[in-house]
Amino acid sequence: MSKQYETVIGLEVHVELATKTKIFCSCSTEFGGAPNTHTCPVCTGMPGSLPVLNKKVVELALAVGLATNCQINQYCKFDRKNYFYPDNPQNYQISQLYLPICHDGGIEIETSAGKKVVGIHEIHMEEDAGKLIHDEWDDCSLVDFNRSGVPLIEIVSEPDMRSAEEVIAYLDKLRLIIQYLGASDCKLQEGSMRADVNLSVREVGASEYGTRTEMKNLNSFKAIARAIEGERARQIELIEEGGQVIQETRRWDDTKEQSYAMRSKEDAQDYRYFPDPDLVPVMISDEWISSIRGNQPELRNEKMVRYKEQYDIPEYDISIITGSKHLADLFEETVAICKNPKKVSNWIMVETMRLLKEHDLEPEQIRFSPENLAKLILLVESKAINGNVAKEVFEKVFDKDIDPEKYVEENGLKSVNDEGALRATIERIVEENPKSIEDYKSGKTKAMGFLVGQTMKEMKGKADPGMINKILKEVLDQL
């Protein structure tokens, strides 16, 4: 009989904090930009340059720590993690090992198996590395330090997760908390949230953990799920064959769905941490903590309650919309303009969701503005366009954030609300379709639909269906 195995997973989640400047210098953290245009002597490790800590980094790290129920180290320090790599300009990374800012917290997750708490071992502040671009033509690599020194927090969980589903639930919850705090946009695609997976397997019932491996290069939830399945299978197979899992760092290749050992003789993984003598300790007073707590923005649960009271939209809609800080912001801002929560919720729940799914996008990747969605809704409300036209226009809004008013104007999509002209068209169509009149009179309701369709076709889709219905009924009943 084959053995039953349990997967034990812990995560190291790196989140780029939403500051304007880097952690130790006054360079912009803006994503993109030509290589090395957001750099200075400090973030490129020039001799004689010195780091000075960005206060906002401490505040955001504290906010995340408090929202994830962590203890705060009111005396915390920075340490140097020493290793050579070209994306690391000083060949040491400024991080926290001995006294990280937060420790011993946890968040509750919910999966098909029920609710459970995933512990957070610690949260520490550190600097991001630069980017390496591999130049295939020249057989070399190129270093861009624009990301070097961008502030990160690393959230280290306890090995409390047992399945990919739990991991995804944990990441989702974490992402939502951080987004709500405004501490990061947590975009996996742009790398502003990244996860390394520590995974081991053991026989069900065993009390000791197995040897774990660490997997890097996981840049989507799907890749994380696949990597967990792949690594679990690899470790079990290894053990079943009588082999042993080696504690090592592995790189996940999502296209090949395989992980590779990143070991080499030159990577000793002995980081020789010691307190950074260029930086002084951070003392966090009780007052500072309570002011961060006091300024904490509305989190999801509070928002859900408020939506129910304030907007009276279905609970299902509330859970979807508040499931992404970006969607919630979009919703609220649009409602503020067009004062119609139900319609806004509808546009988000139906058309927006459809298009996101179609394009395989995350809600965070929505590019259209609340102004343009509000304009569209107002166009429909004022019957300037009909529902079908509105859907067509929305696709443009979704794609390119166009101004719906202008677009409707420029493309002549306004509904024809001239009752006289519509009545003339309808009368002509009725005259041309005697068969349909007979059907209508004999009670076949389908005939009505056919005539509406014909009219709409004739009006090139720009008529208000309600008005067509009304006039058509009148015309038919008069016959």
Partner 1 sequence: MANIISDETIEYVGILAKLELSDAEKEQAKKDMGSMLDYIDKLNELDTTGVEPMSHVFPVHNVFREDVIVNGDQRDIVLANAPEEKEGCFKVPKTVE
Partner 2 sequence: MSLMSLTAVELGKKIKAKEISVVEATKAALDQIEKLEKKLNSFVTVDAEGALKRAEEVQKLIDDGTLTSPLAGVPVAIKDNMCTEGLLTTCSSKILGNYKPVFSAEAVLNLERAGAVVIGKTNMDEFAMGSTTETSAFGETKNPWNTDHVPGGSSGGSCAAVAAEECAYALGSDTGGSIRQPSSFCGVTGIKPTYGTVSRYGLIAYGSSLDQIGPVAKDVTDCATILEAIASYDPKDSTSVKREEYDFTSALVDDVKGMKIGIPKDYFMEGLDHEVKEAILNAAKKLEEKGAVIEEFDLSLVEYAIPAYYVIASAEASSNLSRFDGIKYGYRTEEFEGLHSMYKKSRSEGFGAEVKRRIMLGSFVLSSGYYDAYYLKALRTKALIKKAFDHAFEKYDVILGPAAPTTAPKLGDSLSDPIKMYLGDIYTISVNLAGLPGISVPCGKDSKGLPIGLQLIGDCFKEKNIIRAAYSFEQTRKYESPDIALQ
Interacting residue ranges for partner 2, rule: CB under 8 A: 41, 44-53, 80, 82, 84, 86, 89-92, 143, 266, 270, 272-274, 277-280
Q: Does 58 bind partner 1 (CB under 8 A)?
A: yes
Q: Which of partner 1, partner 2, none does 432 bind, CB closer than 5 to 8 A by kind?
A: none
- Measured CA to CA, the distance from residue 172 to residue 152 in angstroms comes to 18
Of 218 and 385, the one with the shorter C-beta distance to partner 1 is: 218
Q: Which is nearer to partner 1, 279 or 299 (CB)?
A: 279
Cβ proximity to partner 1, 147 vs 303, nearer residue: 147
Could you tell me the smallest distance in angstroms from the CB atom of residue 118 to partner 1? Answer: 31
342 binds partner 1 (CB under 8 A): no
The answer to whether the beta carbons of residues 185 and 175 sit under 8 Å apart is no
Task: Return the number of other C-beta atoms located less than 10 Å from residue 142's C-beta.
Answer: 13
Nearest to 10 by CA among 145, 132, 118, 86: 118
Q: Is 85 in the site for partner 1 (CB under 8 A)?
A: yes
Could you say which DSSP state residue 161 is in?
B
Nearer to partner 2, 281 or 453 (CB): 281
8 A C-beta contact, residue 231 and residue 213: yes
List the single partner that 39 binds among partner 2, partner 1, none, CB under 5 to 8 Å by kind. partner 1
Rule CB under 8 A: choose which of 28, 69, 90, 369 binds partner 1.
28
Q: Which long-range contacts (CB under 8 A, 24 or more apart) does 133-138 make?
A: 133/35
Nearer to partner 1, 29 or 454 (CB): 29
The DSSP secondary structure of 220-289, one letter per residue, reads SHHHHHHHHHHHHHHHHHHHHTT------EEEEETTTTEEEE---TT-------EE-TTS--EE--HHHH
Which two structure tokens, joined as six digits, stand for 129? 């590395």
Q: Contact letters (x/-) for partner 1, 110-149, by CB under 8 A? A: ----------------------xxxx--xxxxxxxx----
Task: Tell me which DSSP letter residue 19 carries.
Answer: -
Is 39 a binder of partner 1 (CB under 8 A)?
yes
Least Cβ distance, residue 45 to partner 2 (angstroms): 5
- Would you say 193 and 173 are in contact if contact means Cβ atoms under 8 Å apart? no
User: Min. distance of Cβ 29 from partner 1 in angstroms?
Assistant: 9
Q: Which residues contact 45 (CB under 8 A, 6 or more apart)?
A: 89, 90, 91
278 binds, among partner 2, partner 1, none (CB under 5 to 8 A by kind): partner 2
Q: How far is the CB of 275 from partner 1 (least distance, A)?
A: 4
Minimum CB distance to partner 1, residue 217 (Å) = 11
- What's the rounded Cα separation, in Å, for the pair 227 and 429? 62
Q: What is the dihedral angle through the alpha carbons of 361, 123, 282, 72, rounded to the nearest 10 degrees?
A: 120
- β-bridge mates for residue 274, sequence order: 80
Q: Does residue 272 belong to the site contacting partner 1 (CB under 8 A)?
A: yes
Residue 387 token pair: 């529902």
Closer of 52 and 336 to partner 2 (Cβ): 52
For residues 88 and 334, which CB has a smaller minimum distance to partner 1 in the complex? 88
- 21 counts as binding partner 1 under rule CB under 8 A: yes
Q: Which is nearer to partner 1, 141 or 319 (CB)?
A: 141
